[in-house]
Amino acid sequence: MSEHLADEARPAADRAVDPSRRERPYAPLRDYALIGDGHGAALVCRDGSIDWCCLGRFDAPPVMARLLDARRGGCFALAPAEPAHSTRCYLDDTAILVTRFATRSGEATVTDFMPMGCRPGAGLHEYTGVNAPGWIVRIVRGEAGAVRLRAAYRPIRGFTRAAAALQAHGGRVTGIGVPALHGEAPFTVAGEEATADFTVAAGETRCFILSPAPLGSLALGDTARRLLEITTAFWREWIAYCHYDGPHAAAVRRSAITLKLLIYAPSGAMVAAPTTSLPEAPGGSRNWDYRFCWVRDASFALYALAALGFVGEARRFVGFLKHSHLERGLHLMYGVEGETDLEEHDVAGFSGYRDSGPVRVGNAAHRQLQLDVYGELLDLALLYNQLGGSFDAVERQALSQIADRAAERWREPDNGIWEMRDERRHFVHSKIMCWTAVDRAIRLFGGKPAWVEARRSIAETVLRDGVDPHSGALIQAFGRPHADAALLVTPWLGFPLPQDTFRRTVKLALAELRDGDYLRRYVATDGLHGTEGAFLIGSFWLADALLYLDKPMEAAALLDSLVAKANDVGLFSEEIEPKSHAFLGNMPQALVHLALIHSALRQFIHQRQGRAALRGSHADRARRHIDAAAGLGAWLTDLKQSLRLGRVTPSQRSVLA
């Protein structure tokens, strides 16, 4: 397994595309880029192969899954038919991927995207809506010389053993239960795969469109180019509302686009990642399905987006929670349409990434007790309120009931933020988040005696039982004197933690969890076999902690180093192997990208307004940042002007929808 990690650590440009192997070895996770349409998503490898794709919904059965089984997982490869080297990038301020292949005979580019700003079922000249049609568009262009290419389409019908029977009619490939492929090249079928060989000279293009169902007569080239124009305009209009100009602005914008790609447009829910079962350690079994919406993750992410000026995403998520029957009880995670039955099961017949099974669908953590979710939701509610949102009587009652439950249940043990599949414990972070829940309820709705008493009691208990008498640091759980990366967020919640206690908490984390620039979540046993890599969000939290301790130079240096650890198109996975820097876990991971934004925002606030401006809640800092950057004011001014003139842009329409 070490040779795989060594390969991952090599610079991307050093790895050549070899088309001679039909069943190539698993590509390093660093080699993947994300495209999406606000409904589903796909991962495109740097060798031109789409190795993971779910259309229509992030959690839909995959139509390509070579990422999870090199032999039978299915893919849509499009690359030179001769050895080549590739480089790639996203088109500026978009989620449109451009890969450049260089061969002995010439150079060609492949542009990959899923249309945004388009309405399903509309004719070419009517693509003016805000929903995507669930297509994948691939445009090949000759840049120099002449390049021979091959398109190879091998779809699957979800996690089933039954192969898809394909039929080819010229440039069209169809099959029952799989998307239809349309291309400007004739295909032939052999077994489970359809292939087309063609050559592009400099200035020539060939277009391919994958759609859920066969299309009628359509000028593929004109359609593809028009969709490219519309999608480019959509992304650039959307990102234009980001007025951030602080540290690592390019990485912040890329992270914002990545988070937008993870939002399910029909409901406003954000998934933790678009993939399932990518292992947290090679050969291990810590493989989970992340294609669901965690209230915790989405709350963190929407704070980041709101602080950048994308207040519409925060509004949509509040609406999602309402439509997910918030008044009937809060769940810690949901399906993208608000489903709460997310039963977990192993998939038979799929080997897993690099034979690291099992492959799982669903997530058993949905049945856990995670008390921190109360605080995450009430913190989001306060943020939403301070950004100008309001709650009706039903919503106020639901939020008040959640605060009541936090006040009643904070003394109970739970599974904690890290979803440990072990006995429940009295996790200190969970207690602090219950404090956050009642504190935010008091700020929102007034000082209900039960909330005021709970806030006082929780703080006293944490500072008494949650601090190790020997190290003077916060500990993972009562009677469990270990470090926990989650405790590094404590000051950002406004919890009354003495500065010296937090300093010692950071010291304990560095001693137990640090490995170079990286930080592991914890070292204590958790009821699971095997190990895991360093959790990237913890590394960003460490940078934030250093900033809070008034060490801005150290914080900035660590953030610089972490941002540089992204792959060549600016994406992060969930975890990283500290020695080789190999990506581990599902990717791209919303938590990590939002942590990058949080860290950059905090350094921006520190530079503009000083250390005092870092205090308080997420809502307080978001308000300060928006005031400093004038992002919200500019957004509202632009929107009012557009409404007055009747010229609302597609991205503005998506916010108002």
DSSP-assigned states of every residue in 460-529: HHHHHHSB-TTT-SB-SBTTB----GGGGGGGGGT----HHHHHHHHHHHHHHHEETTEE-S--S--S-S
pLDDT in tens, 26-61: 999 999 999 999 999 999 999 999 999 999 999 999
Backbone angles phi, psi at 4, to 5 degrees: -65, -45
390 sits in which H/E element: none
The answer to whether 433 and 374 have CB atoms below 8 angstroms apart is yes
Query: Looking at residue 627, what is its pLDDT?
Result: 65
* Residue limits of CATH 1.50.10.10 in the chain: 240-643
User: C-alpha dihedral over 182, 184, 189, 194, to 10 degrees?
Assistant: -70
Query: Looking at residue 343, what is its pLDDT?
Result: 95
Among 123-127, 371-375, 469-473, 489-493, which is the least confidently predicted range? 123-127
Query: Looking at residue 459, what is its pLDDT?
Result: 98
Query: Looking at residue 27, what is its pLDDT?
Result: 96
Q: How far apart are the first and last CA of the chain?
A: 48
Query: Looking at residue 223, what is its pLDDT?
Result: 92
Token couple for 561? 């180093």
* Cα 173 to Cα 532: distance, rounded to the nearest angstrom: 42
pLDDT over 50 at 635, yes or no: no
pLDDT over 50 at 597, yes or no: yes
Which spans in 577-649 are helix H?
A: 590-609, 618-629, 631-645
Domain 2-238 in this protein, CATH class: mainly beta
DSSP β-bridge partners for residue 208: 138, 183
pLDDT over 80 at 656, yes or no: no
Query: Looking at residue 128, what is its pLDDT?
Result: 37
pLDDT in tens, 395-409: 899 899 999 999 999
Among 144-148, 370-374, 513-517, 525-529, which is the least confidently predicted range? 525-529
pLDDT over 70 at 469, yes or no: yes
Query: Looking at residue 312, what is its pLDDT?
Result: 81
Among 131-140, 232-241, 642-651, which is the least confidently predicted range? 642-651
Mean pLDDT computed over 425-450: 97
More confident residue, 523 or 644: 523
| Nearest one of 378, 135, 260 to 655, comparing CA atoms | 260
Mean pLDDT computed over 224-253: 94
Q: How confident is the model at residue 319 (pLDDT cuts 50, 70, 90)?
A: confident
Q: Helices 372-386 and 311-323, interaxial angle, to 10°?
A: 130
User: C-alpha dihedral over 274, 275, 281, 282, to 10 degrees?
Assistant: -140
Beta-carbon contacts of 71 under 8 Å, excluding residues fewer than 6 positions away, are 23, 351
Among 470-474, 577-581, 652-656, which is the least confidently predicted range? 652-656
Query: Looking at residue 527, what is its pLDDT?
Result: 67
Q: Is cis: bond before 247, omega within 30 of 0?
A: no
Can you give the C-alpha Rg of the chain in angstroms? 25
Global pTM reads 0.91
Among 142-146, 266-270, 290-294, 301-305, which is the least confidently predicted range? 301-305
* CATH code for the part of the protein at 240-643: 1.50.10.10
User: What proportion of the chain, given as a percentage, has pLDDT over 70?
Assistant: 88
Token couple for 339? 């489903």
* Cα 606 to Cα 628: distance, rounded to the nearest angstrom: 11
* Cα 285 to Cα 288: distance, rounded to the nearest angstrom: 9
Mean pLDDT computed over 472-499: 95
165: exposed, middle or buried (C-beta count within 10 Å: 0-12, 13-18, 19+)? middle
Place of tokens 């009706």: 392
Q: Is cis: bond before 80, omega within 30 of 0?
A: no
* Cα 389 to Cα 394: distance, rounded to the nearest angstrom: 15
* Cα 224 to Cα 206: distance, rounded to the nearest angstrom: 10
pLDDT over 60 at 127, yes or no: no
399: exposed, middle or buried (C-beta count within 10 Å: 0-12, 13-18, 19+)? buried
Q: How confident is the model at residue 304 (pLDDT cuts 50, 70, 90)?
A: confident
| Nearest one of 45, 88, 87 to 70, comparing CA atoms | 45
358 sits in which H/E element: none
Q: How confident is the model at residue 195 (pLDDT cuts 50, 70, 90)?
A: very high
Mean pLDDT computed over 471-477: 97
More confident residue, 303 or 293: 293
DSSP annotation of 56: S
- How many of the other CB atoms lie within 10 Å of CB of 417? 22
Q: What is the mean pLDDT of the chain?
A: 88
More confident residue, 653 or 273: 273
Mean pLDDT computed over 430-458: 97
* Residue limits of CATH 2.70.98 in the chain: 2-238
